Amino acid sequence: MGVTLALIIFIISYFFIITEKLNRAVISCLGGVLMLVFGIYEIDAAFLHHIDWHTITLLLSMMILVSITSQSGFFEYVAISLAKRVNGQPIPLLLVISTLTAIGSAFLNNVTTVLLIVPIIFTLTSLLKLNAVPFLLSIVMASNIGGTATLIGDPPNLMIGQAVSHLTFNDFLVHLSPVVIIIYLLVMSGLVLFYRRQLYVRKENQAKLLAINPTDYIKDKRLLIKSVSVLSATTIGFIVQPLIHIDLTSIAMVGALLLMLITHQEQDMEEVFRSVEWVTLFFFVGLFLLVGGLKEVGIIDEIAKSIIYYTDGDLPKTAIFILWGSGILSGFVDNIPFVAAMIPVILEFQQYGMSNLDPLWWALALGACLGGNATIIGASANVIVAGMALKQKQGFSYWEFLKIGTPIAIISFIISTVYLYIRYLIYF
């Protein structure tokens, strides 16, 4: 009875999360609470074992850091400065903004980065009288690809990093960034080729952009110096974490609290807390509760046994299966709940004779993050950009996104397969 109830609650919750007919944070939390109400597990188990407070706290800390930094005008200043450097030429501008998005997504996180970059795109394309859609789609693809490169770049990586204690920030950077760079270069080349006829700007519109002074966007120089310094120090802390032996969550917490302390005169702290993406945080809480229910009734264990059975326990087969399986499924459902369900499955593999699980974690990270590019609902960043575009009356349809995203996702999976096989699987 418990198995049936847990599965029904999970499937119904998942349906409403995918369709986004209701707020996904409310649905995930409601599903999690129903697991408690129907006795799938006790409340102590929910708070002590199933909710990953490290992930929640790390996300909260990064949101605070970026929120305060954004109030200084730093991100707008960088974007306008880069646009002027390329003289407002649309193709170089697309490449520069996309690269900025990819780097920002790697070291801040992709959801936060698109929230900062998209309004700037609307400003730039409005000045240059350009169609914003090629830029918006390029930003989405760049954010998901760039976010794949680091532990904090994309929520699935963050969840994997918190679940697997020996994987550090540098491990993600070293193992994933080489293939990410290759994929990014190929994807951007393809996008420029596809949209080249739309990327044309008149001289008079270029002149308007060149007349803008980027420093006008700096709202507070003192806040700029403080926030950029602390944000940079926090990022450096992530990189040197294996040497200083302080966990990533503690580093992020110190950075957020330090920045709040030294900027309390420039910032209204209540306003800072209001700017936090609480919907995302509560969505994660509910998600951990939902997946916890599946773990309690043994469904996760059965899934692990099934994968082992179909792949004969062969590591290369299992890794490729996870890469393509997670990639395809992440294209049609949000990759966050999928990864939340897959993490305990992979952890179960140790009980069936697999001692080296690292190739499986890299396969899951690549599949889930890159698969998010396939459809408009594949990743949180996609949904956010689509919503912002619709408000500005520059929206794009599900099928317009699919036409671009699906080939990009498939190419990414092929490259990732070759990379995984050559680097990790050829010896097995």
- CA gap 46, 260 in Å, rounded: 31
Count how many domains the chain has: 1
Q: What parts of the chain have a pLDDT lower than 70?
A: 18, 20, 242, 304, 332-335, 337, 352-353, 428
Q: In degrees, to the nearest 5, what angle opens at C-alpha 146 toward C-alphas 140 and 148?
A: 110
User: What is the full DSSP assignment across 87-146?
Assistant: TT-HHHHHHHHHHHHHHHHHHT-HHHHHHHHHHHHHHHHHHHT--SHHHHHHHHHHHHHH
Q: What pLDDT shows up at residue 428?
A: 67
Q: Is the pTM of this model over 0.85?
A: no
Query: How confident is the model at residue 178, as a pLDDT?
Result: 95
Q: Which is it for the CA torsion 150, 155, 156, 160, positive or negative?
A: positive
Q: What is the pLDDT of residue 254?
A: 92
Tokens of 29: 């939390």
- Residue 184 to residue 187: CA distance in whole angstroms: 5
Distance of CA 242 to the CA centre of its chain: 23
- d(Cα 171, Cα 151) in Å, to the nearest integer? 8
- The token pair that represents 136 in the structure block: 């918006």
Q: Which pLDDT score, from 0 to 100, does residue 58 have?
A: 79
* pLDDT digit string, tens, across residues 111-164: 777 877 887 888 788 878 888 889 999 999 999 999 999 988 887 898 898 888
Tell me if 109 sits within 8 A of 153, measured CB to CB: yes
Those residues whose C-beta lies under 8 Å from the C-beta of residue 404, and which sit 6 or more positions away, are 137, 141, 191, 194
- Residue carrying the six token digits 């995203």: 405
Dihedral sign for Cα atoms in the order 410, 416, 419, 422:
negative
3-state secondary structure of 151: coil
Residue range of the domain that includes 216: 2-425
At residue 381, the pLDDT reads 79
Q: Are 267 and 70 contacting, i.e. CB atoms less than 8 angstroms apart?
A: no
DSSP 349: G
For residue 408, the model assigns a pLDDT of 94
Tens of pLDDT, residue by residue over 259-281, are 999 988 777 888 888 878 787 78
